[in-house]
Chains A and B, each alone.
Chain A
Amino acid sequence: MATAGAAGTSGRTYSFKVVLLGEGCVGKTSLVLRYCENKFNDKHITTLQASFLTKKLNITGKRVNLAIWDTAGQERFHALGPIYYRDSNGAILVYDITDEDSFQKVKNWVKELRKMLGNEICLCIVGNKIDLDKDRHVSVEDAESYAESVGAKHYHTSAKLNKGIEELFLDLCKRMMETAQAEERAKGNGASQSASNRRGVQIVDDEPQATPAGGCCSSG
């Protein structure tokens, strides 16, 4: 149910919601600004804000609308996480490779997300600031083995050098599309049920209901 907004009902345009999680100062905003505006620490950033950005993609002939939600990384806002990542299709968990603590935070996020959203959400763990490799405090092996153990993918990026960012988002989109397609197929099997289960709908004329609805996500 959480991914009801995923596939546009036409089946051709996907729209995905991706949340950016991670401690403050790990470079979440830089990452997304680099991806959407291809700018880093630039005084001429055209957008008024860098907290909600969208990107239109075309992946193997399928149109994808990506909405990237930045979240406040300060510790005191941690408890608000569930309000942000509700109904997300993907989450990008960013840590700073020079900061062991920020990796610990990512682990906490992963635990929480898996608990709240199960396996429906695609997780990406991102070690940012690889341009500062000489100050690395989180080892590559540790990070990658951890990611594998929780069913997430691991990426190394540098917003400053524009490394690994395209790959990260492209990969994530492909995975989210797979998830959405799998869900659609699953829904296709139970189509007849879901149509009859809906109650309280008033259809004035007597033409048959064409396709099942994605479901209602108002609760929560």
Chain B
Amino acid sequence: MSQRRGIHVDQSELLCKKGCGFYGNTAWQGLCSKCWREENQREKQRQIQEDWALAERLQREEEEAYASRHQRAQSQPAITPFNKFEERKTKEKSSKVNTVTKFFTPSTKTPPKKDAGAADAQSTPSSSSSASRQPFPDSDRATQEFIDFLKSVKSGREIFKQCRAFTEGMVYKRDMGADELSECVQDFYQSLSDRLHNQFKGSTEHVERVMDEVEKYMMSRLYTEVFCPETTDDEKKDLAVQKRIRDLHWVTIEMLCVPVDEEIPEVSDSVVKAITDIIEMDSKQVPKDKLACITRCSKHIFNAIKVSKKEAASADDFLPTLIYIVLKANPPRLQSNIQYITRFCNPSRLMTGEDGYYFTNLCCAVAFIEKLDGQSLNMSSEEFELYMSGQTSPNWPRPTAAASSAGGAAHTQAHSSLDVLTGLGERQERVVEKARQLESDLIDWTDEVEQKVQSALESFPLDTQSTTTNAAGGTTTTTTAAAAASSAIDSENVENELLPPPLQPQVFAG
């Protein structure tokens, strides 16, 4: 049978289906190598373009969702200082979209190597898309660092494989609630650390170090996806806390019983550093780095207390001071950060470690601020309401002595101002008087000048006119003489022909 078929194969059937004249191959669907490559390339391009279309659609949806959310946000009482906050939010949104597109590009299918990026740059369909697909410095660096770190770790390849697969899988779970995402990540941490313990027989310290790196790698790649996700009301809570803290601006050190004396330079220095650190927390991506900011802030607080009280700080001192620092700093996106750390931090760190203790205190501080009332500041609720509504401030009703002296100072100042004003009035009158005098002086002067000119004209009538004409006649004669002289020079040129011929160079032998 096969022989028969073999016989019946026509020469034309062996040729490339495209009819280019070359022989085709069944492995290339009957095309020749050249046509097959072309065809294949086209297919790939189409695939890439489809991916891009999908990515763009997602981006549009994202933007629409954001726009509608934004409108909702605007219907609430607008608060101007949040403009920056909103801007950053928008910026983050756009970077989030970028991350989505990144996942759709072919480059992520291969392990992120430098030459892989170069290879797929060729297949990029248009220049615009290649421009928009910028590298992600943070997450790419995190990947590179993670790979570098795992090189020194036994079975590092496998760990990386798992983490990458998990991280990429998370993208398809973006619609899940934040708590479910958190559960996924926590389960992953747990199972990975168990495997490290049991399968790879790592020591506790070793496992912890690896888990730190795992967390760093995964969370810097997932940060934009899972920080303050849209499925939660974290953002609303952020704004609420921010407003609350702003409303509590009048709370003083004395009301909170903070054992810190800001008159001492070292103490106020520590307070400033603590504030800086707690604000810096928002700029970090990895939960562990955020915790490190809280820890640094706490250490500065302890220092401030120790310098003020000359003894080691206890929790009784620490918590009020932390509350005071939070009130002073009003850290951006406080609730989002707390939620993010709770959801995605390595649990062993949060539950028993020192970082965990300070984090817990921060949670306490925020809870306290949210529930703060007059009683917790040792004042009546009426007084508290008065301060909250801004009708009065604890800084206004000073002790009477200070008040009277302040009033006296104001009184004397008013008097002196009045004196100055009267003085000014007098001076102005004088100035106006002088100006009038100057005006009349000016008028007098012009009259005088006019008179003098008149008298001068009368005393010397027309003599001047004749002298000028004479002088003019003199100049004309000199010019004509000069013209004649120049023409005489020109005429001399005619005699040039009579001159002997110019000397010729003579050549001497030798």
> Which residues of A approach B to under 8 Å, CB–CB?
4-5, 8-10, 13, 15-17, 20, 24, 28-29, 33, 43, 45, 47-52, 54, 65, 67, 69-74, 76-77, 79-80, 83-84, 87, 198-205, 207, 209-211, 213-219
Interface string of B363-375 (1 = CB under 8 A from A): 1100110010001
Residue pair B161, A204 in contact (C-beta under 8 Å): yes
Query: In the complex the two chains form, what is the Cα distance from A96 to B385 in whole Å?
Result: 36
Within 8 A of A (CB), among B354-368: 354, 357-358, 360, 363-364, 367-368
In the complex, residue of chain A having the shortest beta-carbon distance to the beta carbon of B168: A202
Residues of A within 8 A of B358 (CB): 52
Q: Taking A4-B347, A83-B360, A216-B186 as given, write out 20 further A-B residue pairs in contact, using a Cβ cutoff of 8 Å, ordered by the A residue number.
A: A10-B204, A15-B352, A16-B352, A28-B314, A49-B298, A49-B314, A50-B314, A52-B357, A67-B352, A67-B354, A72-B318, A79-B367, A204-B165, A210-B194, A211-B194, A213-B187, A213-B194, A215-B190, A216-B190, A217-B347
Determine the distance from Cα of A52 to Cα of B182 in the docked complex, in whole angstroms: 27
Interface of chain B, helix or strand or loop or mixed?
helix
A76 touches B375 (CB 8 A): yes
- Quick check: is B191 within 8 A (CB to CB) of the other chain? yes
Q: Label chain A's interface by main secondary structure.
A: loop
Q: How far is the CB of B504 from chain A (nearest CB, A)?
A: 104
Of the candidates B166, B180, B315, B318, the one having the most CB atoms from chain A within 10 angstroms of its own CB is: B315
Nearest opposing residue in chain A for B298, CB measure: A49
Complex: chain A residue closest to B320, CB-CB: A72
- By beta carbon, the residue of chain B nearest A18 is B352
Do the beta carbons of A77 and B368 come within 8 Å of each other?
Answer: yes
Residue B337 is within 8 A (CB to CB) of chain A in the complex = no
- Min CB distance B319 to A, Å, is 4
B371 engages A5 (CB within 8 Å): no
B residues touching A (Cβ–Cβ < 8 Å)?
158, 161-162, 165-166, 169, 173, 179-180, 182-184, 186-188, 190-191, 193-195, 197-199, 204, 257, 298-299, 302-303, 305-306, 310-316, 318-320, 342-343, 347-348, 351-354, 357-358, 360, 363-364, 367-368, 371, 375-376
Q: How far is the CA of A33 from the CA of B199 in the complex (A)?
A: 40
Residues from chain B with a CB closer than 8 A to the CB of A29 are 312, 314-316
Assess whether B198 is in contact with A210, with CB atoms less than 8 Å apart.
yes
Cβ of A83 and Cβ of B318 under 8 Å apart? no
A59 to B231, CA, bound (A): 48
Task: List chain B residues, Cβ under 8 A from A5.
Answer: 347-348, 351-352
Residue on B with the closest CB to A11?
Answer: B197
Return chain B residues, CB-CB under 8 Å to A24. Answer: 316
Q: In the complex, which residue of chain B has the Cβ closest to the Cβ of A220?
A: B342
Q: Which of B166, B352, B360 has most chain A Cβ within 10 Å?
A: B352
Question: Which of A28, A65, A198 has the largest number of chain B CB atoms within 10 A?
Answer: A198
Query: Quick check: A48 and B299 within 8 Å, CB to CB?
Result: yes
Distance in angstroms from B292 CB to nearest chain A CB is 15
* Inter-subunit contact B183/A216 (CB<8 Å): yes
- Structural contact, A218 and B316, CB atoms closer than 8 A: no
Residue of B nearest to A37 (CB): B312
Whether B191 and A201, one on each chain, are in contact in the complex, defined by CB atoms closer than 8 angstroms, is yes
Q: In the bound complex, do residue B191 and residue A203 qualify as a contact, i.e. CB atoms below 8 Å apart? A: yes
Report how far A54 CA is from B356 CA in the complex, Å: 13
Say whether, besides A210-B194, A211-B194, A83 and B352 are in contact (CB < 8 Å): no
Give chain B nearest CB distance to A79 CB in angstroms: 7
Q: Could you say which residues of chain A place their CB within 8 Å of the CB of B316? A: 24, 29, 72-74
Residue of B nearest to A89 (CB): B352
- 20 A-B contact pairs sorted by A residue (CB < 8 Å): A15-B352, A17-B351, A20-B315, A24-B316, A28-B315, A29-B312, A48-B302, A49-B298, A69-B360, A72-B318, A76-B368, A79-B371, A80-B368, A201-B184, A201-B187, A203-B191, A207-B199, A213-B187, A216-B190, A217-B186
Chain B residues within an 8 Å CB radius of A199: 187
Residues A214 and B320 in contact in the complex (CB < 8 Å), given A43-B310, A83-B367:
no
Contact A202 B299 (CB under 8 A): no
Quote the shortest CB–CB distance from A147 to chain B (angstroms).
24
Query: What is the distance, in angstroms, from A13's C-beta to the closest C-beta of chain B?
Result: 6
B360, A84: Cβ atoms under 8 Å? yes
